[in-house]
Amino acid sequence: MKSFLELGVSAPICQAITDLGYEQPMPVQEAVIPYLLGEAIDLIALAQTGTGKTAAFGLPLLQNISLMPQGEQSKPQALVLCPTRELCLQIADDLTSYSKYLPQVRILPVYGGSSIEAQIRALKRGVEVIVATPGRLIDLMERGAASLSSVHTVVLDEADEMLNMGFSESLQTILSEVPEERHLLLFSATMPKEIARIASSYMKNPKEITVGNKNAGNANIKHTYYMVAARHKYLALKRIADFYPNIYGIVFCRTRKETQEIADQLIQDGYNADSLHGELSQAQRDYVMQKFRIRNLQILVATDVAARGLDVDDLTHVIHYGLPDDVESYTHRSGRTARAGKTGLSIAICHSRERGRLKDIERIVGSKIERVRIPSGSAICEKQLYNLADKIERVELTEDATLESFLPGIVRKLDWIEKDELIRRLMLLEFRRLLDYYESVEEIEEADEKGRLHGEAKAKRDKRNAMAEEGMTRLFINFGKFDRMYPNKLIELINKCVPGRVRIGKIDLMPRFSFFEVDEAEAADVVASMNRFEVEGRRISVEYAEEAQIGDFNTKKAKAREKKSSSRRFDDQPSGWERKPQARERRSREGDARERNRRGQSAYIPSKRRER
């Protein structure tokens, strides 16, 4: 392997990167730098996040600027475009470090969320390199503050991410303002069709360099997944966090709402976590990121968009709280760990409906994603206890005047306790809550590849949740179309009877009763709360639906039978909540239902009538 000096990097820049601890070029640097220091060519470099791409384009970029005539140094000669503010700042900081011994090179980060007036003043003073997000750069161009007429090098970093974020038109606007004789460097982790289109439109005979396989994942990342029911996803996440006591990772969620809810729940359960999503102000984002970078946070819960361009070293885990819709996003997520030649773990918490996407991801990363068992409570407790024992074992005993002054008294106070008992007390002091939790909590039931649960409660749950959406529970209510029950009225009734906000799913209205779905976690509260209420003297009855009794109502034939068996038209019924069926009518209706059931025709029969 050649050194940076042997690759042609100048002595001042070599000295700067030596100060940073760089010893040998990484593969992408060794492949790219010689081309960029040679003839001016257009280049497409495909390499994963964290493989040293910034130095690969940054070192030649700075060296070429230093060779430009002095008279042109007051205008921007190089432009680096990136998708997010965080990546913009990170690249600018790296380039500033690389140019430590090139004082004539001035680098300006340009991004939204900071003072545009300050950026305009810096541009007027003169800069050699602009590192920018597309939106803010176009704003400066429209104000006449940023001129690209002297730019000879344009770098698109994380080009696929910029296209995913909708910057295609912005990139075209910017590139149209750059001189035609410039050369374009495109760095990307994947090669979607949009990248190929930009290459054909704006690049001249580009050289393509691939480090690893095209669109492939980092070989240093171990890919695993858990298959669980939707209602167990958060419990599985908790077990992952507990099973890896030294976790330093990102949990990726699909929506802002889910991101905030998961972060809030982790914080409530005592985990060192916070959220990062688009609803945070710039000041809040900066605060969260600073805490995460200095490891005051162990777990960052983030959306894909908010985490784009996130540059944090030494992440141990990336956790997918459900698989992303875009398979390539999985590669970007996972690429946050195992950077700079280190190893990392990518864990997906998914359910059976995502099997197809798992297969697609396996093709992208070029290896099989291993299914692993959810850690048991016993295994988690063992891992935590031994982790503390390891920490105690590694403590270096150095003299501390304050400790030494109190130590004799502490030794006398604890001298009566035997060593084994002292260790037991120490472990209980640290882990009482954890041990109590896993001693009492049930083990998580894992789903098989077809989504079926394993465990004793499988039959009961299947019966209760028949035909309900994943994560929802199907309930029966004794009001239907004949009672002028409409979806909006049912939702209004639920919200009136149940405190707090209830997530409501599918609603099926029958002539004399209805079915509706609610979040599994809220089903018990909904049943208990609604059964305490009456409507115009008629008691509300809400119960869990049962598969054998409701299945046939979900067919057109059953609905037709029910309609045919009705002796009264919907239009004949009193309006509003005034209808109050007599006991004889209710008994007759239930008798008819039992008779149909005896003849093999499925009909709903409440499992147990609650009497007042």
| The residue to which tokens 């104000």 are assigned | 143
Judge contact between 161 and 329, C-beta under 8 A: no
In whole angstroms, give the CA distance from residue 406 to residue 409: 6
pLDDT of residue 139: 95
For the record, the structure tokens of 368 come out as 């099989």
Residue 133, C-beta contacts closer than 8 angstroms, at least 6 positions apart? 81, 82, 83, 84, 85, 88, 110, 111, 112
Query: What is the DSSP annotation of 570-601?
Result: GGGSPSTT-----HHHHHHHHHHHHHHHHTT-
Mean pLDDT by 10 residues, the chain (612 residues): 88 93 87 86 81 89 74 79 87 94 92 91 92 95 93 90 82 91 85 77 86 64 89 91 95 92 92 91 87 94 79 88 82 81 89 82 80 90 91 85 87 90 88 81 66 48 56 88 85 86 86 88 85 84 64 43 39 40 48 48 38 36
pLDDT of residue 399: 80
Largest CA distance in the chain: 101
Q: What topology does CATH give the domain 458-598?
A: Alpha-Beta Plaits (3.30.70)
pLDDT of residue 265: 92
pLDDT of residue 554: 44
Query: Starting at the edge strand that comes first in sequence, how are the strands of the sheet with 317-321 ordered?
Result: 273-276, 299-303, 249-253, 317-321, 344-350, 221-227, 370-371
Question: Residue 546's closest CA among 605, 610, 598?
Answer: 605
Give how far Cα 206 sits from Cα of 40, 172, 479, 561, Å: 11, 18, 69, 69
pLDDT of residue 138: 95
In whole angstroms, give the CA distance from residue 433 to residue 435: 6
| The residue to which tokens 């805490």 are assigned | 291
Fold matches, 11-210 and 221-377: yes
Is the CATH number 3.40.50.10490 carried by domain 11-210? no
pTM score of the predicted model: 0.57
Domain locations in the chain? Answer: 11-210, 221-377, 458-598
Q: What is the pLDDT of residues 287-325, one digit of tens each?
A: 998 899 899 999 999 998 777 667 787 899 999 998 887
* Helix/strand/coil for 349: strand
Give the 3-state secondary structure percentages of the chain, helix then strand then coil, rounded to 5: 45, 15, 40
User: 221-377: which CATH number, 3.90.550.10, 3.40.50.300, 1.10.357.10, 3.40.1190.20?
Assistant: 3.40.50.300
527-540 burial, b at 16+ Cβ within 10 Å, e below that, comes to bebbeeeebeebeb
Phi, psi of 366 (to 5 degrees): 80, 20
Phi, psi of 46 (to 5 degrees): -105, 115
Residue type, position 95, single letter: L
Query: Starting at the edge strand that comes first in sequence, how are the strands of the sheet with 183-188 ordered?
Result: 107-110, 129-132, 78-81, 153-156, 183-188, 43-46, 207-210
pLDDT of residue 299: 97
- Which 8-state DSSP code applies to residue 450? T
Q: Which residues on adjacent β-strands are paired with residue 300?
A: 250, 274
pLDDT of residue 480: 87
